[in-house]
Amino acid sequence: MTTERRALPDVEAVTVAMIVAPGVYSRNRMFALFAEPEMARARLRATVVRGLLRQLQRSRNMGLSFRFEPREGGVYLHYDVEKLRLVCRIELTHLERACLVYLASKTDTPLMSASAEDRALVEETLRRLVPEAKPSSP
């Protein structure tokens, strides 16, 4: 009896999709996909980034300050919520940072502004989910 492992979609692209459009890859509809460790981690990272955005948005009127610090393979996001005396640091990949900034720039009261590079990185990564169109035969 052989067990055949199905080819996984691009994990980074799925992570981005779950960050920017969380309902697209539902765990309940695609349970077998999320049984794979890579996809479980993608789901976790998407949840972290979306949760971080919510926390930053709720803290904006409480003396929020934040900065990105480069690190190997990504960035650290340092943020401080003065009224709560809360200081946090989280590691993000460059792609996760781009997604965070991309979403934060699209809110009613933008928290951050996305650069053209951020938007391009998010959009190019999402395009990897679409199979290449094959030319039709004559």
Q: What is the pLDDT of residues 23-66, one digit of tens each?
A: 877 666 676 677 788 888 998 999 999 999 999 999 989 999 99
**pLDDT band at residue 2, thresholds of 50, 70 and 90?**
very low
Looking at the structure of the chain, the number of domains it has is 1
Task: Look up the pTM and report it.
Answer: 0.83
Is 132 a member of any domain? no
Q: Is the pLDDT of residue 138 over 60?
A: no
Q: What is the mean pLDDT of the chain?
A: 87
Is 6 a member of any domain? no
Q: Is the pLDDT of residue 7 over 80?
A: no
Is 111 a member of any domain? yes
Is 5 a member of any domain? no
Is 109 a member of any domain? yes
The residue range of the domain holding 89 is 11-127
Note whether 20 and 103 are within 8 A (CB): yes
- Residue 76 backbone phi and psi in degrees, to 5: -105, 135
DSSP the chain: ---PPPPPP-HHHHHHHHHHSTTSS-TTTTHHHHTSHHHHHHHHHHHHHHHHHHHHHHHTTTTEEEEEEEETTEEEEEEEEGGGTEEEEEEEEHHHHHHHHHHHTTSSS-SS---HHHHHHHHHHHHTTSPPPPPPP-
What pLDDT is stored for residue 1 in this prediction?
Answer: 46
Q: Is the pLDDT of residue 128 over 70?
A: yes
Is 1 a member of any domain? no
Which of 32 and 122 is assigned the larger pLDDT?
122
Paired strand residues for 78: 67, 89
Q: What's the mean pLDDT in 91-119?
A: 93
Is 86 a member of any domain? yes
Is 138 a member of any domain? no
